[in-house]
Amino acid sequence: MLNNKQNIAALSVMVALLSACGGGGGDSSSSAASNQAVQANPPSAPQKPAITGDLSCQSVVCALPASAVSDAVGKVYQLQNNTSQDMPLTITGPLTASWNAVVTQVDSDILGYGRVGGGARGTDAAADAVLEQQMQQFYDHAAAYGQIAGRAQARMRVEKRAVAAARYYAVNDSRQWYDSIGSRTLSTTMKASYALPSGGTVYVWAQNDAAAVTAQQAAFLAERFANSVYPIEAAVISEPWGPVNPSWQGVTLDAGTKDVHLVLAQLNQPASAFKGLLGYVSPLNALLKSGASDPSCGKTDCSAFSNSNEALVTFLNVDTLVAADDGVNWSQNGKGPALTLSTLGHEYQHLLYGYNKVFRRMAGAARSTTWENELAAQTMGYLVAADTYQGGRGDNANSHPDLRSGGDFSQFLAQPACNLKRWSAMSGDSVGTTCYPKALATGMLMLHQYGAGVMKPWVTGSNVGERALDDGLAAVGGGDYGSLMQQLYTSLALADFAPWPAGYGFPAKQLSLPASRYFPGGKTISLPPIPVSLGEVQLSTDPTQEAYRLSLAPLGGQVTITVPANSRLSLVKR
């Protein structure tokens, strides 16, 4: 550290140097001003008030406007506690016991606990844990894999290695696939194919020693993928593959890879159509097996390379697709095929997410998050299935698979509170949980309120976690993660309202995709309104939950409510 005399001497030298070079092109007065600017403290961001929202607040007393007495039912007033301490607030004004109050506690962790899993859907926590463990190991070795990629690129330059052409498959061709969850090799037969708008082909493969797949069933899956799933997700998010970050070149699929493979396998032991694992994707299948031949693999775990299928591949549970509602007559409108299509839309998003958030970023970059990945997947599964099953909520042949009895939406209404950011299926994780039903409802809310424009900035952008979702919400004027959570739980307090009050719930929405090579004439997807009865909503009064309702008992025109730290309060007139 310099003493005072040394400081003076150093400053003298700096002034002399600045004078000699003209102060960087300005006169002495501009140099002095510049020097003062450097030394001045930068302006601090304005401090946010402790309580913000729709009410007039003085300290811990907030007043409803006098006009609230004549407000229509369904009117919502919101407050936010911006501090890190619980805040007892006294609410005054024309408040009665008929009003509803909902508290939404927003996790302040920007990233969230869970690291990114490969992407699974179902009720098999063990399968989720396997994928998450594999991705944890992948990220742990990402820097070493980047070095392997560098050496692979050097070898390719020396050897002038040509890129292998995509292989064409015909019906009844055979191929083996490695099932990373089951740690087994599957022998499969190609059952159907369909040309993709990108110039590639989708191939449908069926496990030989599992439930039989008919030509009709395989053709249904191939056609719906090529004409609905693939083009919708490409138009809304991106292609599944393309140029990667230079740090991944040499150990990943060629940038021109276009073919997509759907593998129908028995993912549950014993076989089950509607319980257990419905499907999964592992981004590690985009790695090249040749990476495992690197000399460092004697010390580094290179199983991510050696076990790769070297393909853009999605695994789906075969027993779900082939299920017949009456046990005999199969129909593409049946519960099983419909759920398979929703699952395919969900899982295919994981392919896009893996490409954008893993391989388009530098090896060893900040890890992406499970909750954000699964939320995007549930959103796209809902959107894609709505293109085929347009009947909304119900149990008929045209009803949306996620909105049928016992589906994810019904499960959300029965148990709404679930902290997305705690999403982790790792075994032994005391705070781990999965939130597929809430992720579906959150995705539905975004689509019904803001449309599909939320997806591209979110999934293809450079951020991860909450910041990534906020990027998407900002693009459509949707606020941020915290306001989205409050909007979701406030919507539950507005159940029974028809139509939904503006800004809440799941109103009818026409989603228009512009003309593109995927849809030369454009594309419209109609989302019907989703009704909810108040009796279905089982929002707890337990204040330890992420969201909970309060019973109001105003005395003398006022009531005291404790709003937890970093939480939001919604008052709903009913």
pLDDT value at position 20?
31
For the ranges 56-60, 449-453, 554-558, the maximum mean pLDDT occurs at 449-453
pLDDT value at position 43?
55
For residue 140, pLDDT beyond 50: yes
What does pTM read for this prediction? 0.87
How far is it, in rounded angstroms, from Cα 290 to Cα 145? 12
For residue 364, pLDDT beyond 90: no
**Which residue shows structure tokens 């693939």?**
230
Return the closest-CA partner of residue 250 out of 159, 312, 176: 159
How far is it, in rounded angstroms, from Cα 176 to Cα 209? 12
Torsion angles phi and psi, residue 38, rounded to 5: -65, -40
**b/e map 57-66, b = 16+ CB within 10 Å:** beeeebbbee
pLDDT in tens, 20-60: 333 333 333 333 333 333 344 555 556 778 999 999 999 99
Measured between alpha carbons, how far is residue 390 from residues 410, 440, 528 in Å? 18, 17, 8
How far is it, in rounded angstroms, from Cα 264 to Cα 278? 10
For residue 3, pLDDT beyond 80: no
Let me know the angle formed at the C-alpha of 430 by 425 and 431, rounded to the nearest 5 degrees.
70
pLDDT in tens, 410-442: 999 999 999 998 886 543 344 446 789 999 999
How far is it, in rounded angstroms, from Cα 368 to Cα 240? 17
HEC string for 491-522: HHHCCCCCCCCCCCCCCCEEEEECCCCCCCCC
Return the closest-CA partner of residue 244 out of 145, 380, 164, 165: 145
Beta carbons of 103 and 545 less than 8 angstroms apart = no
159 φ/ψ sector (left φ>0, alpha ψ -120 to 50, else beta): alpha
How far is it, in rounded angstroms, from Cα 420 to Cα 140? 24
How far is it, in rounded angstroms, from Cα 508 to Cα 334? 24
pLDDT value at position 370?
86
For residue 126, pLDDT beyond 80: no
pLDDT value at position 503?
97
What is the torsion angle, in degrees rounded to the nearest 10, for the CA atoms of residue 361, residue 312, residue 139 and residue 468?
Answer: 50
For residue 414, give every residue at least 6 positions away whose Cβ sits within 8 Å of its Cβ, in sequence order, or none.
536, 538
For residue 160, pLDDT beyond 80: no
DSSP string, 247-309: GGTTSB--TT---EEEEEE--SSS--SSSSEEEE--GGGGB-GGGGGSGGGGTS--HHHHT--
Residue 308 token pair: 């790769």
Beta carbons of 230 and 244 less than 8 angstroms apart = no
Torsion angles phi and psi, residue 152, rounded to 5: -65, -40
pLDDT value at position 156?
57
Mean pLDDT confidence for 309-323: 98
Where does the pLDDT of residue 313 fall: very low under 50, low under 70, confident under 90, or very high at 90 and above? very high
Q: Which of the pair, 369 or 359, is modelled with greater confidence? A: 359
How far is it, in rounded angstroms, from Cα 536 to Cα 493? 11
pLDDT in tens, 458-472: 999 999 999 999 999
CB atoms within 10 A of CB 542: 10
How far is it, in rounded angstroms, from Cα 527 to Cα 509? 5
pLDDT value at position 149?
76
**Which residue shows structure tokens 């996620």?**
402
Return the closest-CA partner of residue 223 out of 178, 193, 244, 263: 193
Strand order in the sheet with 312-317: 120-122, 277-280, 312-317, 260-265, 201-207, 184-195, 174-179
Mean pLDDT confidence for 171-190: 97
Residue 174 token pair: 């055979």
For residue 402, pLDDT beyond 50: yes
pLDDT value at position 363?
87
When the pLDDT of each residue in the chain is averaged and rounded to a whole number, the result is 86
Where does the pLDDT of residue 295 fall: very low under 50, low under 70, confident under 90, or very high at 90 and above? confident
Measured between alpha carbons, how far is residue 70 from residues 65, 122, 573 in Å? 10, 47, 10
How far is it, in rounded angstroms, from Cα 469 to Cα 483? 12
